[in-house]
Amino acid sequence: MDEFENGQKGAGDGSVSWGLENDDDITMTHWKGMIIGPPRTPYDGRLYNLKIECGEDYPNLPPIVRFTTRINLKGLDPNGFVLSDQVQVLRCWRRTYTLHNLLIELRKLMASAENKKLSQPPESSTF
């Protein structure tokens, strides 16, 4: 419930946001996320949308995360799914982590040296 409220209030610096896909989702399973690309990177100023699925064992187990906006980023499969074994925050998931932590870490990954030089698909293209 805290995650829902923090998402509604816009917690953080505004570079990421999250909320339920459907306000009627009483199981709080299906979320949407958004990341604003970090400055001085190929992602700069672009908006990246994600779908996040929190299974019934969340927060004990990490969510399933998929970019819906096309992006070239190491740690994703060809369909935009974030590979949990290749992204630190998911690989080392802890019960205390939140969707905010997840989105911030993905944004930091966008600014990493290995991703800073990757060419990107046309803006607003989707999977």
- Where are the chain's structural domains? 2-116
* CA–CA separation, 86 and 75 (whole Å): 5
Rounded average pLDDT per 10-residue block, the chain, 127 residues: 59 86 94 96 96 96 98 96 96 96 96 94 92
The pLDDT value recorded for residue 8 is 58
The pLDDT value recorded for residue 3 is 62
* CA–CA separation, 120 and 97 (whole Å): 29
The pLDDT value recorded for residue 14 is 87
Topology, domain 2-116:
Ubiquitin Conjugating Enzyme (3.10.110)
The pLDDT value recorded for residue 22 is 94
Angle at 64 between CA 5 and CA 91, to 5 degrees: 105
